[in-house]
Chain A
Amino acid sequence: MKKLLAAASVLALCAGHAQANECTNPVQITWSTIAGFYTDAMNQFVASFEKENCAKVQVINTDNSQLYNKQVIEMVGQTGAYDVVTLETAEKAEFAANGFILPMTEFLAERPDLVEDVAPTLRSITVEYDGNIWGLPYYTYSAGMFIRQDLLDDPIEQAAFQERYGYPLARPETWEQHRDIAEFFTRKAGEKLKGQMLERDFYGVGLMAGPFPDIQDELSAQLWGMGSDWLTDEGVVPVDDVEKVLAHYVGLLKFAPPAALTVTYDGVMNQMRDGQIAMTHGFFLDQWPNAVKTEESVPGAVIAAIEAPGKRAYVGGFLLAVSSSSANPEMAMRFVAHIGGPEVQRQFADMGGATTLMSVLSDPVYETAERRPLNGEYKTLLQVFESMKGFSSNLFNTPFGAKIYNTMHIPLQSAAAGQITPRQAAEQLAADVAAICGGPCPIKR
């Protein structure tokens, strides 16, 4: 039956153009996705899909922080309201294990080029689970970091840094160096930066320590960098390791704007553009078009997108998958293939989107100076994927990953805010995770 379905859809794929003209009764499908996300671009891609296939696509935008629970409710209720869902990397295993989404292995077997084009690092963590392929990623938020290159290049600062720390000021290679740089550039109003008097306080680092899941994305960079993970292979939280990275992180907060405890990535970008911070922690490279605007708003600023210290950072992408309660799964799968495919991804890239396809990322077109405001992070993304080849986190390999991911920031943020110690936070996290999984979490690669 499934084979038949796949074959039929391939036929339909080929017949797409022929049908276009005589489409009187379009197939309705609904795509649930993140709010305001390159909306114009998406409308355009939807329109091209509708033209090629006899379909009508409704796009439903939900705030990122509410997307997970809204989608789960619709899946559990088997309402069939969403044909295509959008999943964070940590959520894929849960949706797959619960039968919320349909495997696309057979469908995509006919189009191996689509899967093979996905950056290998992402392919294993966002697309594959339990021997199946679950859809295609259409966007990557994989992290590196942003830093004010103009500050690193300033001779006055270089000399002062060398004198104070005994090694040259450069892009940080380790988290200790990152800390030093953060400390070094933290200045009060009235002090000097690049030889110029500061009118207000300046901070070494912008942190996403607000009550959002992004705090663990930052911490992931450090934790993974030291070769550890949120869950051991036995499915428990390594308390000592978590405590260690958390303690380092809490130390960094001294060099971050006080707003750090309330913001997430958009707040850090606002601080960057307002000229308040020297660099980020591990940070989503897709924010490049935002970050680079600093060069317009802060005179003399130069933004560089680089790999995070330790060459590990939070990686992943938003996966498009087809709901198992969809009434038109084959049309939905075609839609996934359309959005995740090279044609649309190239148009997406032209608008500044962070694509997951190697063919697009490595295209020299995007290396040119004129593409820099929109695609300047591509080179760094490729480096990140190279450095993290073969990487996987157990967070992505347990069906409880979604719940862990969506609540683990609570103890972590408690520690960041000083409400509890890093030790207590690590222990709390371990207890919370054990409660979620009902014991050690099952890990399935």
Chain B
Amino acid sequence: MHEKRSLPLEVLRYGLIVLVIGFFVFPIFWMVLTSLKPDDAIMVSPPRFLFTPTLENYRHAIEDKNFLFYIRNTLIISVISTVFVVILGSLAAYSFARYNVGDGHLLFFILSTKMMPAIAVILPFFLIFREVGKTGFGQFMHLGLDQHGALILSYVVFNLPFAIWLLVSFFQDIPRELEHSARLDGLSRLKVLRKVTLPLAAPGIAVTAVFTLIFCWNEFLFAYILTRKTASTVTVGVESFFTLQGILWGPVAAAATIAVAPMLVFVLAMQRYMVRGLTFGAVRG
């Protein structure tokens, strides 16, 4: 790893990196390019690289299809879900990491809930929320069908197992000595957690937050079954671009670009933080 660098090897390395970037970026590049194409330049063979760019597709997506409405829903649902996942997940993970609650069995159980195929539980979820939505409490919490709360709760349930497992390894990375001395200084357990442990685990929490947000943002099946219109998310909203006249490729591309943008900004903003945080506990050797 720390060997001397030879020029040909370096050329090879950067050559490979260019290939890697090409592979991962090209489809997105093509999507953005398509979003700027006029209608008659999209479904043509051979594919066209030169064209007069237009914002018509964006206008169509935003004005005619009201796509920002879905972005807004997705934003609300994803952000709130993520906040809940991070809070509940951190508390639980800390407990697993420090106190070994359930001696591994509980941790295993939590991961196992992620293994049930979503299709099999979709109907029970639908029925649960239908009933909850009829109660006063359900209405107050917006937990009915086609309401934001139902989707938020679902996303919290689905992302908690992943988040807890990720966070356990982060918490295990934090030296206990610091907590012990803080305890000896007379701080309560909760204070230690809040003032000492959580700040130290911040990078790990950030990473968990990013992945949770990404998963919520991109979820389709539950959003599709549990919502109709008022709480529909981006992935469901795109469906209205599959028309009887065919898929509206230009507007779909524009919508997809709009949908990716906030994620991208967020991920880029968290980037530095994230990669530092992406160190799993187990690595410290």
- A–B contact with Cβ pairs below 8 Å: the answer is yes
Could you tell me which A residues sit within 8 Å of B by CB distance?
30, 32, 34-40, 58, 60-66, 70, 73-74, 77, 79, 81, 200, 265-267, 269-270, 273-274, 276, 286-287, 289-290, 297
Q: Give the number of residue pairs across the A-B interface with Cβ within 8 Å.
A: 72
11 A-B pairs (CB sep. < 8 Å):
A35-B239, A35-B241, A36-B245, A62-B239, A73-B126, A74-B228, A266-B246, A273-B43, A289-B245, A290-B246, A297-B40
Contacts of A32 in B (CB 8 A): 228
Chain B: CB-nearest residue to A81: B228
CB < 8 Å neighbour of A36 from B43, B127, B240? B240
CB < 8 Å neighbour of B244 from A36, A58, A77, A297? A36
Tell me, yes or no, whether B44 is within 8 Å of chain A by CB.
yes
Output the least CB separation between B19 and chain A (Å). Answer: 27
Q: Please tell me if the beta carbons of B43 and A37 are within 8 angstroms of each other in the complex.
A: no
Given contacts A77-B130, A79-B130, A81-B146, contact A64 B244 (CB under 8 A): yes
| Cα–Cα distance between A187 and B230 once the two chains are bound (Å) | 51
Contacts of A200 in B (CB 8 A): 45
Q: Please tell me if the beta carbons of A79 and B244 are within 8 angstroms of each other in the complex.
A: no
Tell me, yes or no, whether B247 is within 8 Å of chain A by CB.
yes
Q: Please tell me if the beta carbons of B225 and A73 are within 8 angstroms of each other in the complex.
A: yes
CB < 8 Å neighbour of A81 from B145, B224, B225, B241? B145
Q: Please tell me if the beta carbons of A35 and B146 are within 8 angstroms of each other in the complex.
A: no
| Cα–Cα distance between A267 and B43 once the two chains are bound (Å) | 9
Contacts of B243 in A (CB 8 A): 34-37, 39
Could you tell me which B residues sit within 8 Å of A by CB distance?
40, 43-45, 64-65, 123, 126-127, 130, 145-146, 224-225, 228-229, 239-248
Output the least CB separation between B46 and chain A (Å). Answer: 8
Q: Please tell me if the beta carbons of B242 and A36 are within 8 angstroms of each other in the complex.
A: yes
Q: Please tell me if the beta carbons of B229 and A77 are within 8 angstroms of each other in the complex.
A: no
| Cα–Cα distance between A73 and B242 once the two chains are bound (Å) | 21
Q: Please tell me if the beta carbons of B240 and A35 are within 8 angstroms of each other in the complex.
A: yes
Chain B: CB-nearest residue to A259: B45
Contacts of B40 in A (CB 8 A): 297
Apart from A36-B240, A81-B228, A266-B246, list 10 A-B contacts with CB within 8 A: A32-B228, A35-B241, A61-B239, A62-B240, A70-B224, A73-B225, A77-B127, A81-B146, A266-B247, A297-B40
Contacts of B245 in A (CB 8 A): 36, 266, 287, 289-290
Q: Please tell me if the beta carbons of B246 and A35 are within 8 angstroms of each other in the complex.
A: no
Chain A: CB-nearest residue to B229: A60
Q: Please tell me if the beta carbons of B241 and A58 are within 8 angstroms of each other in the complex.
A: no
Output the least CB separation between A78 and chain B (Å). Answer: 9
Given contacts A266-B245, A286-B244, contact A58 B64 (CB under 8 A): no
Chain A: CB-nearest residue to B45: A274
Query: What 8 pairs across the A-B complex have the smallest Cβ distances?
Result: A266-B246, A36-B243, A63-B239, A270-B43, A61-B240, A63-B242, A35-B240, A37-B244
Chain B: CB-nearest residue to A257: B45
Output the least CB separation between A263 and chain B (Å). Answer: 10
Q: Please tell me if the beta carbons of B44 and A265 are within 8 angstroms of each other in the complex.
A: no
Contacts of A297 in B (CB 8 A): 40
Contacts of A270 in B (CB 8 A): 43, 246
| Cα–Cα distance between A274 and B45 once the two chains are bound (Å) | 7
Output the least CB separation between A32 and chain B (Å). Answer: 8
CB < 8 Å neighbour of A66 from B127, B130, B239, B247? B239
| Cα–Cα distance between A266 and B146 once the two chains are bound (Å) | 31
Contacts of A265 in B (CB 8 A): 246
* Most chain B CB atoms below 10 A, which of A35, A36, A81, A270: A36
Chain B: CB-nearest residue to A62: B239
Q: Please tell me if the beta carbons of A269 and B246 are within 8 angstroms of each other in the complex.
A: yes
Contacts of A73 in B (CB 8 A): 123, 126, 225
Chain B: CB-nearest residue to A36: B243
Contacts of B242 in A (CB 8 A): 35-36, 63-65
| Cα–Cα distance between A270 and B249 once the two chains are bound (Å) | 11
Contacts of B241 in A (CB 8 A): 35-36
Output the least CB separation between B220 and chain A (Å). Answer: 10
Output the least CB separation between B134 and chain A (Å). Answer: 10
Contacts of A58 in B (CB 8 A): 229
Chain B: CB-nearest residue to A268: B246
| Cα–Cα distance between A158 and B224 once the two chains are bound (Å) | 53
| Cα–Cα distance between A61 and B229 once the two chains are bound (Å) | 9
Contacts of A77 in B (CB 8 A): 126-127, 130
